[in-house]
Amino acid sequence: MRRLFHLVLAAAIHVVLIAALLAPAVKSAEAQTRTTTVVQLGEALCHSLGCTACHAKELNVQAPDLHGLFNRNVTLSDGRTVRADEAYLRKSILEPREVVVAGFEPIMPSYRDVVTDEQVDDLLAYLKSLSPEPRQPNERPRRRRSGAD
């Protein structure tokens, strides 16, 4: 009887250890699935809203190409250069006439009353996926210390 108890206890410990070892892999797979789903939702929304009619890679005439745009520097029609980060892209979707890219006409309509915040997040996820590799915005350059410091 005592031997049976020890076998059951050992088996239970093995199950707990296996579950603990597999938990990070399962969470990672779940996160990957959610990310893919958000990107797919953003892509579908991009097509259904007609964004690709002007922003198609081949058409770079009416609107800027969206491929590789995320975290790239963009020169605006007012001469400013900004980073195409999430804040810029969100503003471009909701208030496009305030951040017109140099060389393009302000023809993009506002989607402020058309899409929800969640849908904007989906679009942002899709736009990020079009970049070869997600990059972090450049950090502020570190100042070199002079010998006097």
135 part of a folded domain: no
Going by pLDDT thresholds of 50, 70 and 90, the confidence category of residue 29 is: low
What pLDDT does 34 receive?
58
Residue whose C-alpha is closest to residue 54's, from 106, 124, 112, 125: 106
144 part of a folded domain: no
CA 52 to chain centre: 18
81 part of a folded domain: yes
40 part of a folded domain: yes
Going by pLDDT thresholds of 50, 70 and 90, the confidence category of residue 71 is: very high
What pLDDT does 144 receive?
37
Residue 41 has pLDDT above 80, yes or no: yes
What pLDDT does 77 receive?
95
Amino acid at 89: L
What pLDDT does 58 receive?
74
Give exposure, 76-115, as e/b (b: 16+ Cβ within 10 Å): eeeeeeeebbbebbeebbbebeebbbeebeeebeebeeeb
Residues whose CB falls within 8 Å of the CB of residue 86, separated by 6 or more in sequence, listed in order: 124
Mean pLDDT of 21-36: 54
pTM score, two decimals? Answer: 0.65
What pLDDT does 113 receive?
95
Higher pLDDT, 33 or 71: 71
The CA distance from 69 to 130, in Å, is: 8
134 part of a folded domain: no
Number of domains in the chain: 1
> What domain range is 106 assigned to?
32-129
Residue 81's Cβ-side half-sphere holds a number of Cα atoms within 13 Å equal to 3
55 part of a folded domain: yes
86 part of a folded domain: yes
What pLDDT does 138 receive?
45
85 part of a folded domain: yes
Taking only the tens place, the pLDDT of each residue in 97-141 is 999 999 999 999 999 999 999 999 999 999 999 987 644 444 333
Ranges 34-38, 73-77, 137-141: which has the least confidence = 137-141
Question: In this structure, what CATH number is given to the domain that contains residue 43?
Answer: 1.10.760.10
